[in-house]
């Protein structure tokens, strides 16, 4: 029997792929979340800011809808808040340095066969593995 988590992951991945494809085909835009969020308050036209805001609201509403349907997620943080804040800031800095995030490079960039996105995604993955290894060894 296939686990519900696997079915949810496959459906979620398919929906992300469909949304990214539709945004590219219908709007000519890449579904990189950091770029979309970063330009909501940028020097753009009103229409440009609106579609970006609607996209972000849709992500939040989708998560809320999922939570209503399947119940609240049971996530337990295994670290302290200051470390979590530092980690979040480092992710933000890395996103700016890498000119995008995992959704832009990993989902959209790889699908477009972008060499820059391949390099960024490999870097994301390597540092993710290194971080987990160090966190488990150092017990943070």
Question: Does residue 55 sit within a domain?
Answer: no
* Reduced DSSP (H G I as helix, E B as strand, rest coil) percent helix, strand, coil of the chain, to 5: 75, 0, 25
Q: Could you report the per-residue pLDDT of 37-60, keeping only the tens digit for each? A: 888 888 888 988 998 999 899 989
Establish if 10 belongs to a structural domain.
no
Q: What is the per-residue pLDDT for 53?
A: 92
In a domain, 140, yes or no: yes
Position 28 in a domain: no
**Pairwise CA distance, residues 16 & 12, whole Å:** 6
Residue 124 lies in a domain: yes
In a domain, 30, yes or no: no
Asked whether residue 63 is domain-assigned, the answer is no
Structural domain harbouring 122: 76-140
d(CA 26, CA 29): 8
Q: How many alpha carbons lie under 13 Å from residue 129 in its C-beta half-sphere?
A: 5
Overall average pLDDT of the 78-85 stretch: 84
Distance CA 6, CA 52 (A): 30
Give yes or no for a contact between 105 and 120, defined as CB atoms under 8 angstroms apart.
yes
Number of domains in the chain: 1
Please give the model's pTM, rounded to 2 decimal places.
0.72
Cα dist from 21 to 80, 102, 105, whole Å: 38, 16, 14
Q: What is the pLDDT of residues 85-118, one digit of tens each?
A: 998 888 888 888 878 888 788 888 888 889 999 9
């Amino acid at each position: 029997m296939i686990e519900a988590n696997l079915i949810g992951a496959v459906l979620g991945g398919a929906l992300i792929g469909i949304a990214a494809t539709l945004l590219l085909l219908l709007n000519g835009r890449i579904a990189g979340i950091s770029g979309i969020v970063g330009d909501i308050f940028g020097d753009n036209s009103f229409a440009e800011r609106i579609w970006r805001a609607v996209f972000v609201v849709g992500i939040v509403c989708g998560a809320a809808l999922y939570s209503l349907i399947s119940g609240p997620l049971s996530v337990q943080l295994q670290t302290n808040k200051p470390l979590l804040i530092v980690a979040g800031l480092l992710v933000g800095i890395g996103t700016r340095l890498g000119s995008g995030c995992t959704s832009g490079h990993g989902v959209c960039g790889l699908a477009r066969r972008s060499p820059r996105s391949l390099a960024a995604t490999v870097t994301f993955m390597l540092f993710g593995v290194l971080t987990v290894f160090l966190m488990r060894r150092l017990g943070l």
